[in-house]
Amino acid sequence: MKKILVINGPNLNMLGKREPDIYGALTLEQINAGLKSEAQKLNCNIDFYQSNCEGELCTAIHEAMGRYQGIIINPGAYTHTSIALRDALASVDVPAIEVHISNIHKREEFRHHSYTAASCIGQICGLGADGYLYALMKLVKSCD
């Protein structure tokens, strides 16, 4: 059975409280519950990891190798600053899709560049929490 790891970076534990006009009203727990339900329908296992610490996120990526067939990652603000996360994603043989709830390309200029996207098979942004679901469906399909 396929296994997918969902990694969420800094401040995503604050979803539902943090700038709901940008990120919506859903909490991370609600997003994860929706993903878990969809994963059951797709006959795959899904695990979740969230950290506000860059090194912990790198470790989670490293530990995914050999255990998971795909990674869904929302690196949060590290998207725009972390070469370490980019390198961690590039160092493992696990396809990853980068997800952002908001459209980073319609926001502040500094959010337009993603260091991590180049190490992913794709990027989904601006589709709200549904972006996670689309990433899950694509990873499960690409693992067949």
Kindly report, residue by residue over 88-126, the tens digit of the pLDDT: 999 999 999 999 998 887 777 866 789 899 999 999 999
pLDDT at 29: 96
pLDDT at 18: 82
Specify the pTM.
0.93
Mean pLDDT of the chain: 93
Q: Does residue 85 register a pLDDT over 80?
A: yes
C-alpha distances out from residue 57 to 1, 103, 142, Å: 24, 22, 24
Catalytic machinery residues: 23, 100
pLDDT at 113: 82
> Who contacts 74 (Cβ-Cβ below 8 Å, separation ≥6)?
7, 8, 9, 12, 98, 99, 100, 101, 132
Q: Does residue 47 register a pLDDT over 80?
A: yes
